[in-house]
Every structure is written in C-alpha cells, then in structure tokens.
C-alpha cells in the first residue's frame, strides 16, 4: 500500500509530487453551500484523474467559516466530511486530510473509475 508523506500544497488545485502521485487541495469558502462544495471537490477529483490517470491521489480539504461561536463546524459541514467525503470521495483517494479527522490513509486500493459528474437530489 502506498502511504504518502506530504505536506498540503501552498495553493488550491492540483500539485504533482516527486513520486508520481498528485495532491488535490480545495478550500470550502464561507459562503459555499454543501452542494457547491460537493460539486467542487468532485470536479477537482475528475480533473486529477483526467490529467494524471490512475496516479495515487492525496486530497487536502480546508473549510472556512461554517462554524459557531465556539469554533465548532456547523452540521452541514460535519456531515460533508463524515458522510459525503467518506462515502463518495474516499474510495477514489489513496489518502486525505480533513479538518475533523486529520490525515487518513484509505485501507483499500484507490478506485480510478471516477464519475464524470455528481448528481445530488432529484434534479
């Protein structure tokens, strides 16, 4: 199993690493909705697969705003990390770093059959 040892890129987007792996970095803005954030991270994942087919992927996520007075993330972005990211994104990654969990390595092989788009809800 590939266990990456990298630091978060300096800027959002894609960054090639020295060992033919790619880092994906996304910042959820304070005014982003759950759906917008989900669409954005899936689009970045799709771009990584298109530009660097089947390379090991490490995803870094930061979330700005979306917190209460005590600094705790609001329910939507706790769910975004615990439910959406783990069930939708994690299978397509080798490792990832989230505000709630820190860094985690996917114990299963990374999937490379990345969907072309994300469909949320009935529309």
Domain limits of the chain?
25-105
pLDDT given for residue 121 in this prediction? 65
Please say whether the beta carbons of 54 and 62 come within 8 A: no
Residues 13 and 101: their CA atoms lie apart, in Å, by 21
pLDDT given for residue 73 in this prediction? 78
pLDDT given for residue 39 in this prediction? 93
The DSSP annotation for 50-106 comes to HHSTT--EEEEEEE-S-B-TTSPBPHHHHHIIIIIIIIIIGGG-SEEEETTTEEEE-
Strand 102-105 with 95-98, pairing: antiparallel
pLDDT given for residue 122 in this prediction? 59
Give pLDDT tens digits along the chain (123 positions): 555 556 788 899 999 988 889 999 999 998 999 999 999 999 999 999 999 999 999 999 999 888 778 878 788 888 888 889 999 999 999 999 999 888 899 999 999 999 887 777 655
pLDDT given for residue 93 in this prediction? 97
Which structure tokens are listed for 48?
Answer: 């990584």
Could you tell me which residues are beta bridge partners of residue 73? 67
Which structure tokens are listed for 10?
Answer: 């300096």
pLDDT given for residue 2 in this prediction? 52
pLDDT given for residue 103 in this prediction? 87
- The number of C-alpha atoms within 13 Å of 18 and in the hemisphere containing its C-beta is 4
What is the phi/psi pair of residue 108, to 5°? -100, 160
């Amino acid at each position: 199993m590939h266990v990456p040892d990298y630091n978060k890129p300096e800027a959002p987007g894609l960054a090639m690493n020295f060992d033919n792996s790619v880092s994906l970095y996304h910042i959820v803005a304070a005014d982003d909705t759950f759906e917008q954030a989900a669409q954005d991270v899936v689009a970045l994942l799709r771009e990584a697969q298109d530009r660097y087919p089947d390379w090991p992927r490490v995803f870094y996520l930061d979330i700005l705003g979306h917190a209460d007075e005590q600094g705790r993330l609001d329910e939507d972005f706790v769910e975004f990390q615990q439910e959406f990211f783990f069930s939708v994104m994690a299978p397509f990654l080798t490792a990832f770093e989230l505000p709630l969990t820190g860094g985690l390595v996917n114990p299963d092989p990374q999937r490379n059959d990345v969907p072309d788009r994300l469909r949320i809800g009935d529309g």
